[in-house]
Structure 1
Amino acid sequence: MNLEIVVPCYNEERNILRFYIEIDNVLNDDIDWQIIFVNDGSDDDTLAEIKKLENAKYISFSRNFGKEAAIYAGLKKTTAEYVILMDADLQDPPSLIPEMLTYIDDYDIVATRRVTRTGEPKIRSFFARRFYSIMNRMSDIELVDGARDFRLMKRNVVDSVLELNEINRFSKGIFQWVGFDTKWIEYENIERAEGETSWSFWQLFKYSIEGIVSFTVAPLYISTIIGIIFSIISFFSILFIVIRTLIFGDPVSGWPSTISIILLIGGIQLFSIGVLGQYLAKTYIETKNRPKYIIKEDNFN
């Protein structure tokens, strides 16, 4: 079997060697394997640690372009019949790889999902679950709660993923969008081996917005429906005020309530404009046709 392992890395200097050793321990001699590290503009000695490994390929970006760009760059360099995508922090346990390999003959993808979020802040876990619920209601794809990027794929799956050439990428959605038969392996959450996660709550929030905007236009419909509803309410409100004034001669009063209504309508308008702006921004970025990443150095021929 010919196997390549794509590993996006950002400030993982303390995990690189340990990760490599664990991979070496779980893969037997019958497998011709190769690791492709993608150094996503790390600020530490991640690249130096990668260069110490004799049997490893690497790509190093000129700056931090984000995990999605690193995933795409790594997959683009693969040529093997089978490809694994996983993180270097050991939250994706290499010990699952032998089990994954046993299923790949019957499936196109063998993916993993966490059944618990032990060790994560409760507020992050709560919003993560809400995101999956909202995403599945809005979009045509079905995201699996707890799904990881850690997966084993056949060559045709990798080629299909690479055909989706957009700059604004949401890999979890892309993997589901391309389809193919998938086997899910469940496991308990594992905390990072070393270091701190580079994903803040705000970054995860922006990533969730990226996913929603990339795979559904439902927010545009929602803002349109809200606009129609409030237009109807406004029409009947004006009609009521006119009729009341004609009958009772009561001048319109209630400055506080008027201001409250203006603020409410203004907030809804700004929300709708913001939703529209998100889609326009994505279109604007795509039309620039800038590269997803810039490679500073690598050790590929």
Structure 2
Amino acid sequence: MRRVTAVAPEVRGVLSVVVPCFNEEQVLEAFNRELHVRLLELGIPYEVVYVDDGSTDSTLSLLRRFASCDHHIRYLSLSRNFGKEASMLAGLRESTGDQVVLMDADLQHPPAFMGRMLELQREGYDQVVARRSRDHDGRIRTLFSRGYYRLVNHWAEVELVDGAGDFRLLSRRAVDALLDLEERNRFSKGLFSWIGFTTAFFDYADTPRSGGSSKWSYRKLLNYAVDGLVSFNSRPLRLAIHIGLLLSCLAFLYAAWTIGAVLIGGITAPGYVTLLVAITGFGGMQMVLLGLIGEYVGRVYNESKQRPHYLVRERTPSDVARPPTLRARSS
């Protein structure tokens, strides 16, 4: 890991900022002001691509107003809530810049750090990742998070860095590599690691949300953790085989011990508690392993349907909203 200090970068080309949004009306205007202040300080051509992930509040109305007032801003509105993975993919596909920054709209990803990202990118890094602290997470959540990263890094084929999320800068070739991956069950943290390329990290202090509430419930976090565990390895399936063999061996040994006890001491009355515990334990283990296999089968099923990752309901009305540098690039 490398620690850096903010330096005014000299980066050529257009910078794209991709911002997924879901029900962010309480903080979106403050974020947009802060973002544009920081972008103007950089002094380079830029575009901002907002992706409305099926918001039910006035997020889309705000994005329409932003785009009508600022030619640097474009937006997409998805037909429903497809999830953050789909909205990030939509924003990456829509971006045209030589460098692309991914960040959330809740100001927990401070726009002020874009200067650091660009400075490191100028040194030749294809990915520059802001790694947050966990100062504002509860003790239980922090404990489970660290335990999860140890577990997934033990099993997965790629390394996931604790605290490294979606807040990062990607070079155009890194973005193109991500867009070449057409899988439907996307786990971006793993995909960022899977594509490789040179990567630099820097730490930043975690900040609370400026408004609204987190969209990540414990149930969603658990499902996301399962995605990370099974998306980049098949070792749990091999583990199921090992557990099955172990249980079979234990059952054989227990049967041999029971037969030996009968031959030596005669027939005794069986223990109902032991029988009940054994049936419950083995039944629960079978359900867990069956669910694990079903998780992989379900992913194969989703991939086979080849449905699109998302559907776009609305986008920036016309190409007039784009700055001249971007029109020239895409023509």
TM over 0.5: yes
Question: Which secondary structure state, in structure 2, belongs to the residue aligned with residue 104 of structure 1?
Answer: helix
Q: Would you say the 8 A contact 2:15–2:44 is kept in 1? A: yes
Q: Would you say the 8 A contact 1:112–1:186 is kept in 2? A: yes
Distance in 2 of aligned mates of 1:15 and 1:276: 42
Q: Would you say the 8 A contact 1:113–1:186 is kept in 2? A: yes
Using structure 1 for the length normalisation, give the TM-score.
Answer: 0.96
Equivalent position amino acid for 1:30 in 2:
G
In structure 2, runs of 5+ residues without a counterpart are 1-12, 320-331
Distance in 1 of aligned mates of 2:80 and 2:58: 14
RMSD: 1.3
| Other-structure match for 1:12 | 24
Q: Would you say the 8 A contact 2:131–2:163 is kept in 1? A: yes
Equivalent position amino acid for 2:17 in 1:
I
Q: Quote the offset at 1:248 in angstroms.
A: 3.1
Distance in 2 of aligned mates of 1:33 and 1:13: 23
- Per-residue CA deviations over 1:75-132 (Å, capped at 9, x if unaligned) read 0111211111100001000111111111112211111101x22222322222111111
Once the two structures are aligned, what percentage of the paired residues are identical? Answer: 40
| Other-structure match for 1:52 | 65
Distance in 2 of aligned mates of 1:252 and 1:293: 62
* Equivalent runs, 1:184-203 vs 2, <5 Å: 184-203=201-220
Equivalent position amino acid for 2:311 in 1:
I
Q: 1:34 aligns with which of 39, 42, 47?
A: 47
| Other-structure match for 1:132 | 149
Distance in 2 of aligned mates of 1:123 and 1:145: 15
Question: Which secondary structure state, in structure 1, belongs to the residue aligned with residue 80 of structure 2?
Answer: coil
Distance in 1 of aligned mates of 2:284 and 2:269: 23
Larger mean Cα displacement after TM superposition, 14-23 or 135-144: 14-23
Bigger RCO (CA 8 Å, 6+ sep): 2
| Other-structure match for 1:241 | 258
Question: Which secondary structure state, in structure 2, belongs to the residue aligned with residue 52 of structure 1?
Answer: helix
| Other-structure match for 1:25 | 37
Distance in 1 of aligned mates of 2:182 and 2:101: 20
Using structure 2 for the length normalisation, give the TM-score.
Answer: 0.88
Distance in 1 of aligned mates of 2:138 and 2:213: 13
Q: Would you say the 8 A contact 2:47–2:97 is kept in 1? A: no
Question: Which secondary structure state, in structure 2, belongs to the residue aligned with residue 203 of structure 1?
Answer: helix
Q: Quote the offset at 1:18 in angstroms.
A: 1.4
* Equivalent runs, 1:97-176 vs 2, <5 Å: 97-106=114-123, 107-114=125-132, 116-176=133-193
* Equivalent runs, 1:78-89 vs 2, <5 Å: 78-89=95-106
| Other-structure match for 1:72 | 89
Q: Would you say the 8 A contact 1:8–1:87 is kept in 2? A: yes
Question: Which secondary structure state, in structure 1, belongs to the residue aligned with residue 122 of structure 2?
Answer: coil
- Per-residue CA deviations over 1:164-208 (Å, capped at 9, x if unaligned) read 111111111100010011110100101111110111011011011
Q: Are 1:226 and 2:238 counterparts?
A: no
Q: Would you say the 8 A contact 1:5–1:36 is kept in 2? A: yes
Equivalent position amino acid for 1:66 in 2:
G
- Per-residue CA deviations over 1:266-301 (Å, capped at 9, x if unaligned) read 111111111111111111111111111111010164
* Equivalent runs, 1:271-286 vs 2, <5 Å: 271-286=288-303
Q: Quote the offset at 1:29 in angstroms.
A: 6.3
Q: Quote the offset at 1:244 in angstroms.
A: 2.5
Q: Would you say the 8 A contact 1:124–1:201 is kept in 2? A: no
- Per-residue CA deviations over 1:226-248 (Å, capped at 9, x if unaligned) read 11111001111112222332343
Larger mean Cα displacement after TM superposition, 172-181 or 235-244: 235-244
In structure 1, runs of 5+ residues without a counterpart are none
Q: Are 1:250 and 2:267 counterparts?
A: yes
Question: Which secondary structure state, in structure 1, belongs to the residue aligned with residue 16 of structure 2?
Answer: strand
Equivalent position amino acid for 2:37 in 1:
N
Q: Would you say the 8 A contact 1:241–1:252 is kept in 2? A: no
